[in-house]
Structure 1
């Protein structure tokens, strides 16, 4: 069904008056050039970055708890771990992530969802109970007991946009969804790329090989293999210690280019203007 949907979109796009793309010239120069050399040519309008704001449906208590904890941490010292709304992992993989975070001895916020095999996403209280840590049946209870001074485990939802905006956040472990990627770049946060589905692998390759703002997990995207704790620790160390300075400089350059693209006279500003001008004459 999804394949058929994409084929239909590909057929219909030729008849469109314009195609708005959530990117900007300086970020994906070769991609934009390639699109403009294709069958839709002048109809391509890079108008990004368009990023979401805070979630109006957020839980205020969790939101305030996370941000107040971040306020007490040193600048660029915290890793934010989130794999998106569909980013569920096996129980074995979750345990490896927990151990990898613990071995790294870096501060963290980990947004956690029930592992594969859970019948309902609402049945997460016994899995991720925070509080006093006395729930010994909890999947992550021992980890929480050992690491409660080092970081936060947030069940089901965390205020991602606000977290990535915070000055205490120094890295983002992500599935490379495009919205998450843009939020990281526009806030100057380097990434640990852990792609899970289809196009996320291409994005991970671009972030690591072309843009130089991420490191990529080995076997990332192959859900049949568990990424071990030592590999996770290695990735964290690369971003937070070994290559952190260079990666932050590069991603902050991209952050600046994103701001310029949307400002008056910038590439995305001009693209919006040209679109409006062309539509006026249709």
Structure 2
């Protein structure tokens, strides 16, 4: 490794929603700011898509990817612990392995970035370099997270039992029913982990956000406002998004794309609920009937049902070997073979959303999928499930006007093209593209971070010194 170049280290949490934007951030540091980059990843879910993503990143030779072995947390969390709890505990327990791997590096880094679940690694005392927390979500989710310690003191009882919205300084109020999952039950361990995260994230030298100035100007203004800032974070906020995988990064050609080539423009709705979203058997059957009765062309990414947890497939690859015919309504695949395609577990989402035949996206509103949809100009039908997805759905429908959240759920009636064709998603797509270009707001934000790290490298890392 050339000592003349600054070296950045990024620590990613498990799950595609974290891994994809971290890898994209790493690539931008390499290609636009002349960094060497090492990404440490914990591939705990062992999903085929996650494994392929890490393999592709490694083979690209742009990045050095190090997989940290997942740690056994079975004695630290209940068997039915929420995904948020499991990731938080896992990232805390992996710190000794990560610390050892850092000290074994031949060239010490000049920049350290952790995603939000890795915030406790910021406090490793020996790490002497600029440190940043990367939050791969929207600014509205960050604002709520940073304000939670204040709400924890001010609000009595459960947040979801309140009649009035939660007020955040300078931001749009949050309805109790739209709060982030860890806030749904204050006695649950995930709420305690969430409070720890809210306090720990601002201990960095700054916070990087996977959004851009023109998308969330009001919330970003509040996060930077000197009067409101004391309620949020006393560190700089850098919007550097949208960071998401673009078309053409991998060689992808599937039966799904061949089928799309034969469909009329804007005629297909893409149905997917992310890398972890699942339904009960009853809910899955209802959605199947809704799609069938609508006679709407569709591509549907399906997973075996899990009865009690919408995020239940996050750490699994599904029930081994099951075919969709085993859990979809009898005869569904036969009756819909002329209008739809079913994809078990995974589909090439970016390639599908970029295809001209796709005119809508029935989505869980995870932030990664939301960015995929925005950047390809595809309007959304919002059906949030867990995490911060209800908050995202509210912003997409009420503030941005690029999604609809129908009163009649898509299990009963799939929203048709006529209901979403007037949405302003194409306009939002253009602002995201501009933000990433050289001279754009997100490009300039990341340039500030890179410049600070480069100055540190020149002052303290040249000539190369041993790690502390």
Q: Please say if 1:76 is aligned against 2:266.
A: yes
Alpha-carbon contact 1:79-1:170 (below 8 Å) kept = yes
Aligned pairs (5 A) from 1:106-145 = 106-117=296-307, 121-126=318-323, 128-129=324-325, 139-145=328-334
Q: Please say if 1:2 is aligned against 2:195.
A: no
Aligned pairs (5 A) from 1:1-282 = 1-37=189-225, 38-39=229-230, 40-41=233-234, 43-53=236-246, 63-117=253-307, 121-126=318-323, 128-129=324-325, 139-218=328-407, 227=409, 229-230=411-412, 232-233=413-414, 236-237=415-416, 240-244=417-421, 246-247=422-423, 250-280=424-454
* Greater share of helix: 1
What are the Cα deviations for residues 181-225 of structure 1, in whole angstroms up to 9, with x where unaligned? 000001100001001114111100001111111111448xxxxxx
Q: 1:140 to 1:201 in 2, by over 3 A?
A: same
Alpha-carbon contact 2:382-2:405 (below 8 Å) kept = yes
Q: Secondary structure at the match of 1:111?
A: strand
Q: Secondary structure at the match of 1:6?
A: helix
Q: 1:93 to 1:206 in 2, by over 3 A?
A: same
Q: Which has the larger radius of gyration?
A: 2
Separation in 1, partners of 2:391, 2:317: 31
Alpha-carbon contact 2:202-2:234 (below 8 Å) kept = no
Separation in 1, partners of 2:402, 2:327: 35
The structure, 1 or 2, with the larger RCO (C-alpha pairs under 8 Å, 6+ apart) is 1
Structure 1 unaligned residues grouped into runs of 5+: 130-136, 220-226
Q: CA RMSD in A?
A: 2.6
Alpha-carbon contact 1:80-1:108 (below 8 Å) kept = yes
Give the superposition deviation at 1:41: 5.0
Q: Secondary structure at the match of 1:125?
A: coil
Tell me which residue corresponds to 1:224: none
Alpha-carbon contact 2:281-2:327 (below 8 Å) kept = no
What are the Cα deviations for residues 8-47 of structure 1, in whole angstroms up to 9, with x where unaligned? 2322333311210000011111121121122435610000
Q: Secondary structure at the match of 1:20?
A: strand
Alpha-carbon contact 2:365-2:384 (below 8 Å) kept = yes
Alpha-carbon contact 1:124-1:155 (below 8 Å) kept = no
Q: Secondary structure at the match of 2:254?
A: helix
**TM-score (normalised: structure 1):** 0.82
Alpha-carbon contact 1:82-1:175 (below 8 Å) kept = yes
Separation in 1, partners of 2:447, 2:248: 29
Q: 1:262 to 1:107 in 2, by over 3 A?
A: same
Give the superposition deviation at 1:243: 3.6
**Would you say how many aligned residue pairs link Structure 1 and Structure 2?**
256
Q: 1:16 to 1:192 in 2, by over 3 A?
A: same
Q: Secondary structure at the match of 2:351?
A: helix
Q: Secondary structure at the match of 1:49?
A: coil
Q: Secondary structure at the match of 2:270?
A: strand
Separation in 1, partners of 2:362, 2:410: 15
Alpha-carbon contact 2:302-2:343 (below 8 Å) kept = yes
**TM-score (normalised: structure 2):** 0.51
